[in-house]
Amino acid sequence: MIPSQMLKGILEGCILKVISSKETYGYEISQQLQKYGFSDISEGTVYPLLLRLEKNNLITAEYRESALGPKRKYFSITPTGKKNWRHSERIGKSSIML
Amino acid sequence: MMKTKTKTLNQENNELDKWLTKENNVVMIDMICYLRVANISEYNQEVVRQDLLQMVLSAQERGEDIKTLIGGDYKSFCDEVIAALPQKSQKERVLDFIDTFLLSTSILGAIHIVISKETIALIHNAVTGQQLNFQMPISLGNLLSYAIILVTAFLIVHVIGRNSLKPEKKHNQSKPKSS
């Protein structure tokens, strides 16, 4: 699924939240988002957003061997990413109150 | 430095390519073709290729195919990926052009030397011990055909790349229609 511009923004915030709670990889992020209720989210939907977050220095990525099969790209949040997430969380909370 | 890193990554990816199933490989080739002609650096092309390969291989292990992973619309996916990457600067574009230009000039130059009459005469004279003539004329026709070859090659690459993910292609047709 290719998300709309607005959904993309929301998804980016959610991805940041997932990564900020623990270092993780693409497939796990998509699984987590499905648990949050985004039904049609695959790893392919998440990947361009991860690239964008990485370009904007909000997250960093690193390849590591996984226990079974192919290598995995693990993402972790940067200090800038943390600041940004807290900011968007505040906006999120205030918009819920409205 | 960057060139070496790109090359290493390229070789690693070529190895990973071998593990793809036939169906996934078909889609993968089309997507990479599309990325090759996009305005992103060669290094980023290989980084994306590595990411995609690892994603697809993991999906294969889970028993999923590339369609489940990305959804049927590969072109939109690639456009999203390209948009999320830094675009090549004017300087990088010029340097890349010079790089390709010099490489193709040396290859076509070498071919010209090998097939020219003068080379055959030179070898003949060297063997029979006659005077050696190291001069070789380059005609305007030679230069013109060189330019035509370059432009044609460039056009072929771009036409193939741009059209590799046309929506009417077979692997996109099974996509459920939503309007």
Here the CATH number for the domain that contains residue A18 is 1.10.10.10
Q: Does B51 touch chain A (CB under 8 A)?
A: yes
- Give the mean pLDDT of chain B: 88
The whole-number mean pLDDT for each consecutive block of 10 residues of chain A, a chain of 98 residues, reads 76 90 92 87 92 93 80 90 75 58
Per-domain residue ranges of chain B:
2-87, 90-163
CB contact under 8 A, A45 and B61: no
Q: Closest by alpha carbon to B35, among B49, B55, B53, B56?
A: B49
Residue type (1 letter), A56: N
Q: Which residue of chain A is at minimal alpha-carbon distance from B54?
A: A70
Domain that holds residue A71: 5-97
CB contact under 8 A, A44 and B71: yes
Distance CA A77, CA A16 (A): 7
Q: Which residue of chain B is at minimal alpha-carbon distance from A65?
A: B54
Q: How does DSSP classify residue A73?
A: E
Per-residue pLDDT for B172 more than 50? no
- Percent of chain B at pLDDT exceeding 90: 65
Q: What is the pLDDT of residue B178?
A: 47
CB contact under 8 A, B58 and A72: yes
Starting from the edge strand earliest in sequence, which strands make up the sheet with A24-25, in order? A24-25, A72-77, A59-64
Q: Does B81 touch chain A (CB under 8 A)?
A: yes
Q: Which residue of chain A is at minimal alpha-carbon distance from B58?
A: A70
Lowest mean per-residue pLDDT among A16-30, B76-90, B122-136:
B122-136
Q: What is the pLDDT of residue A96?
A: 55
CA distance A86 to chain B (A): 23
Above 0.85 for ipTM, yes or no?
A: no
CATH class, domain B2-87, is mainly alpha
Q: What is the pLDDT of residue B90?
A: 93
Indicate the number of domains in chain A.
1
Residues of A in contact with B83 (CB under 8 A): 48, 52
For chain B, the residue count is 179
Distance CA B36, CA B137 (A): 37
